[in-house]
Structure 1
Amino acid sequence: MTLRERKRERTRRAVVDAAVELFERDGYEQTTVADIAAAAEIGTRTFFSYFPTKEDVLFPEGDARIAAAVHAIATRAPDEGPAEVLLRTLRIVGEDSDDLGSRLAALRLRLIADVPSVRGRALQLQADGQLRIATHLAAAFPDRLDPVTAAALTGAFIGAVTGALQMLLKDGHPGDPAAVQAAVRRATDVALAPWSTRPRS
C-alpha cells in the first residue's frame, strides 16, 4: 500500500469513527453529513469522495467483501466446490477485519431495524452483492450450478451471516470478534451443508 493509499484509508476510517460517535450520541436522523465531516476534520466535499451518502458510512466494508468473494471464486482450488469457496471467503474476511463483531456492526443492525433509509440501503447493497456473487458462481461452476441454484446458494450464505449477526448482536452491544466470527462460521456451515463436498469438521 502506498503512502497516499494509507493516508486515504486513515481518513476513511476517521470518517467512519466520527459517524459512529455522532450517531450514537446525537441520533442518526439528527446527524448531518456536515457534522460528520467536521468531526473527521475534512470538508463536506471530501466526505463525498469517500461515501456517496450518509447511509453508506454504515457499510464501509461492503465492497471489499464482495470483491473478496469474487476473488475467491476466481482463484478457487481444483477440489473446491461452490460452498467451500464461499466458506473460504468468510475466513478471509474474518482474518482481514473484526467488523462483524464491532461496535459499528451492532449500531448498523439497530439502525437497519429503526431507520427506513438505512434499511433500504442495506437491502439494496445486499441484493446487489448477492447478484454479483451468484453470477460469478454460476459462471465458475457451470456443470454444478445454474443461475437460479447459484442465487439460492448465495442467498443461503448471506442469510446465514445476517441471521447469525442479528441474534448475536440483538442487545445492541458489540461482541467478542473471535466468538462472533466462530458463531457466524458455524451458521454458514449449517446453511451450506447441502452443497458441501467435504466432510464437516
Structure 2
Amino acid sequence: MSLRDRKRARTRQALVEAATELFRRQGYDRTTVADIAAAAEIGTRTFFSYFASKEELLFPESDTRVEAVITAIDSRTPGEGPAEVLLRALSAVPDTGDDLVGPLAALRLELIRTVPAVRGRALQIQLDAQQEIARRLAEAFPDQLDPVRAAALTGAFAGAVTGALQVLLEDPEHLATPADLHAAVRAATDTALAPWLRPGA
C-alpha cells in the first residue's frame, strides 16, 4: 500500500472505532455524523469521502467479503464445484479482525434488532451480495446452475453464515477467539451446503 492508502486505511479504521464507542456510550440515534467525525479528528465533509452514512460504519468489511467470494469463483479449478468454491472463499476470510467478532459485531447485531434504519441497511447489503454472487456462480457454472439454482445455493450459504453468527453472538463468552467463531461458521456452512458438495469433497 502507498503512504496515501495507509493513511486512508487508518482514518477509516479510526472512524469505525469512534462510531462503535459513541454508539455504545450515547446510543445510535443520538450520535451524529459530526460527533463521529470530531471523535476521529476529521471534518464532517471528509467523513463522506469514507462512508455514505453512519449506518455504513457498522458494515465496514461487507465489500471485502463479497470480493473474496468473487475471487474464489474466478480462480476456480476444474475439480471444484460451486459449493466447494463458496467454502473456499469462506476459508480465505482472515480469522482476525473485529468485523465478525468483538465489540463491533455484537453492537451491529443489537442495532439490527432495535434500529429500523440499520436493519434495513443490513438486509439491503445481504440482498445485493447474494444477487451478485448468484449471478457470478451462474455464469461460472452454466452446466450445473441456472439462475434459480444459483440463487438457492447462494441463499443457503448466506443463511448459514447469518444464522450461525446470530446464535453465536448471543453469547460471545463461549467463543475464546475469532478463530473459534470462524470454525463454528464453517461448520454451519458445511452442513447447509452438504447436499451440493461433490462426493469426496
Q: TM-score, normalized by length of structure 1?
A: 0.95
Which 10-residue stretch deviates more, 22-31 or 101-110?
Answer: 101-110
What secondary structure, in the 3-state scheme, does the structure 1 residue paired with 2:100 have?
helix
Q: 1:96 to 1:173 in 2, by over 3 A?
A: closer
* 1:86-142 CA distance string (max 9 Å, x none): 111111113464521221111111100110000000000100000000000000000
Determine if contact 1:109/1:166 at 8 Å carries over to the other structure.
yes
Structure 2 spans left out of the alignment, 5+ residues: none
Structure 1 spans left out of the alignment, 5+ residues: none
Number of aligned residues: 200
**Pairing 1:193–2:194 present:** yes
Determine if contact 1:105/1:174 at 8 Å carries over to the other structure.
no
* 1:146-165 CA distance string (max 9 Å, x none): 00100000000010000000
Q: TM-score, normalized by length of structure 2?
A: 0.95
Aligned to 1:31: 31
Q: 1:130 to 1:167 in 2, by over 3 A?
A: same
Determine if contact 1:111/1:118 at 8 Å carries over to the other structure.
yes
1:198 CA displacement: 4.6
What secondary structure, in the 3-state scheme, does the structure 1 residue paired with 2:31 have?
coil
Question: In 1, distance between residues paired with 2:172 and 2:27?
Answer: 14
Amino acid in structure 2 at the alignment position of 1:131: Q
1:171 CA displacement: 3.8
Aligned to 2:117: 117
**Pairing 1:180–2:190 present:** no
Determine if contact 1:106/1:174 at 8 Å carries over to the other structure.
no
Aligned to 1:64: 64
Amino acid in structure 2 at the alignment position of 1:107: L
What secondary structure, in the 3-state scheme, does the structure 2 residue paired with 1:60 have?
coil
What secondary structure, in the 3-state scheme, does the structure 2 residue paired with 1:101 have?
coil
Identity of aligned residues (%): 66
Aligned to 2:8: 8
